[in-house]
């Protein structure tokens, strides 16, 4: 049942709760955003705090959420969450739905956290069938972005969605169902290369200032994209080493190494994944928050593909699931997103 509230009072706290951070919104009964906040209290930080304090992880999650709700002015209000908080090692395991799954919020029944008061529910993830190698693929958190993106697109029965992030997803909707997706570890590889290989030495020597400036080096990014696109038959591990040789030759400044590597990785990923996405004939859209969506747009544009960018769709998806499962009234609103 929805939390009883008057217009303008919080009825639900919506949470996009990942491994390293979380975003939260206090919503009124019509789904309008009353307040919003972000936090570094992701799954990893909460677990580490619980271990350091010798407390039960469930208690640590409860305390974290209570403090967050106080900041939102929504103390004692039920919550709906998506993301890694519902994974093994999270607050509770929310499970994964086996594909195909109807591309509608009603298909995603939330799992209640046992003993949580007020009630906390978590949206389930998704799992593909094993492929020809016997491996399956999984999603947790992005399914809510997908629901929000499809709502903004008018709930099409056919769509191809790209969801960039630490683990980028390429997802296919056909016949009104989510039928398949593939994960590319592009974001995590970028971080690992910068932090733990010789390629990242110039960035690490430059400190935080050098790393920050690298994120905005569009020319270096474009150069990395074009290197990947221009050498499709060259082993990717060899293409990566061009970040080292171009730096040593003076072609690439230290502040551009991070962006160049990003271009190499995103160029390689999009070149490999784009043909199948286009072959389906379905409308193609990007779902990405912050500057990452713009980088994917640049890489796709270099391949002759212009794609619509949808930002901050997780809240739309959480709102849709909340309405579908009676956590909010069904009334449709289109409130402004404070994170846009």
For 13-34, how does the pLDDT look when each residue is reduced to its tens digit (9 = 90+)? 999 999 888 999 999 999 999 9
Average pLDDT rounded to a whole number, residues 177-189: 96
The residue with tokens 């747009």 is 297
Same domain assignment for residues 292 and 340? no
Which among 328, 332, 232 has a CA at the least distance from the CA of 25? 328
Does 143 reside within a domain? Answer: no
Q: What CA–CA distance (Å, rounded) separates 282 from 314?
A: 22
The number of C-alpha atoms within 13 Å of 4 and in the hemisphere containing its C-beta is 0
Q: Which range has the worst mean pLDDT, 94-103, 175-184, 208-217, 316-325?
A: 208-217
For residue 214, what pLDDT is reported? Answer: 40
Does 167 reside within a domain? Answer: no
Which among 134, 52, 121, 66 has a CA at the least distance from the CA of 92? 121
Give the sheet arrangement for strand 177-184, strand by strand. 101-102, 177-184, 168-174, 159-163, 284-287, 308-310
**Which residue range is the domain that position 193 belongs to?**
186-310
Same domain assignment for residues 317 and 220? no
Does 192 reside within a domain? Answer: yes
Does 22 reside within a domain? Answer: yes
Same domain assignment for residues 265 and 339? no
Same domain assignment for residues 317 and 303? no
Does 319 reside within a domain? Answer: yes
| Cβ proximity of 110 and 80 under 8 Å | yes
Number of H helices, E strands in the chain: 11, 15
Number of compact structural domains in the chain? 2
For residue 20, what pLDDT is reported? Answer: 87
Same domain assignment for residues 191 and 208? yes
Same domain assignment for residues 13 and 87? yes
For residue 212, what pLDDT is reported? Answer: 44
pLDDT > 80? residue 125: yes
For residue 133, what pLDDT is reported? Answer: 84
Which among 306, 270, 265 has a CA at the least distance from the CA of 285? 306
Same domain assignment for residues 292 and 331? no
* CATH number of 26's domain: 3.30.420.300
Q: What CA–CA distance (Å, rounded) separates 217 from 233?
A: 27
Does 15 reside within a domain? Answer: yes
Give the model's confidence band at 208: pLDDT under 50 very low, under 70 low, under 90 confident, else very high: very low
Q: Which range has the worst mean pLDDT, 16-30, 196-210, 236-250, 253-267?
A: 196-210
Same domain assignment for residues 325 and 291? no
Q: Which range has the worst mean pLDDT, 88-102, 215-229, 250-264, 307-321?
A: 215-229
Mean of the per-residue pLDDT values for the chain?
Answer: 91
Same domain assignment for residues 247 and 281? yes
Same domain assignment for residues 13 and 102? yes
Same domain assignment for residues 319 and 293? no
* CATH number of 268's domain: 3.30.420.310
Full-model pTM: 0.89
Which among 133, 132, 142 has a CA at the least distance from the CA of 171? 142
Q: Which range has the worst mean pLDDT, 46-60, 196-210, 233-247?
A: 196-210
Does 169 reside within a domain? Answer: no
Residue 55, both tokens: 């407390």
Does 177 reside within a domain? Answer: no
Same domain assignment for residues 7 and 49? yes
């Amino acid at each position: 049942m929805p939390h009883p509230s008057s217009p303008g009072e919080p009825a639900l706290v919506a949470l996009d709760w990942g491994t390293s951070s979380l975003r939260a919104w206090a919503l009124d009964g019509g789904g309008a955003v009353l307040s919003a906040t972000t936090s570094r209290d992701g799954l990893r930080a909460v677990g580490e705090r619980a271990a350091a304090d010798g407390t039960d992880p469930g208690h640590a999650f409860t305390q974290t959420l209570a403090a967050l709700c106080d900041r939102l002015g929504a103390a004692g209000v039920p919550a709906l969450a998506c993301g890694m908080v519902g994974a093994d090692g999270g607050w509770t395991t929310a499970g994964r739905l086996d594909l195909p799954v109807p591309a509608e919020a009603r298909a995603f029944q939330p799992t209640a956290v046992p003993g949580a008061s007020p009630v906390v529910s978590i949206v389930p993830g998704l799992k593909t069938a094993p492929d020809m190698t016997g491996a399956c693929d999984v999603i947790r958190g992005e399914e809510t972005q997908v629901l929000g993106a499809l709502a903004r697109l008018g709930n099409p029965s056919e769509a191809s969605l790209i969801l960039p992030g630490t683990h980028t997803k390429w997802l296919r909707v056909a016949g009104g169902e989510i039928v398949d997706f593939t994960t590319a570890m592009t974001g995590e590889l970028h971080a690992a290369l910068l932090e733990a290989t010789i390629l990242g030495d110039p960035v690490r020597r430059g400190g935080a200032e050098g790393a920050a400036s690298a994120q905005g080096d569009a020319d270096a990014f474009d150069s990395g994209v074009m290197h990947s696109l221009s050498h499709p038959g060259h082993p990717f591990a060899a293409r990566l080493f061009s970040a080292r040789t171009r730096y040593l030759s003076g072609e690439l400044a230290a502040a551009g190494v991070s962006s160049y590597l990003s271009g190499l990785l995103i160029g390689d990923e999009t070149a490999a994944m784009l043909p199948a996405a286009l072959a389906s004939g379905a409308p193609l859209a990007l779902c990405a928050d912050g500057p990452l969506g713009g980088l994917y747009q640049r890489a796709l544009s270099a391949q002759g593909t212009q794609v619509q960018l949808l930002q901050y769709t997780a809240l739309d998806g959480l709102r849709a699931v909340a309405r579908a499962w009676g956590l909010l009234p069904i009334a449709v609103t289109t409130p402004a997103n404070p994170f846009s």
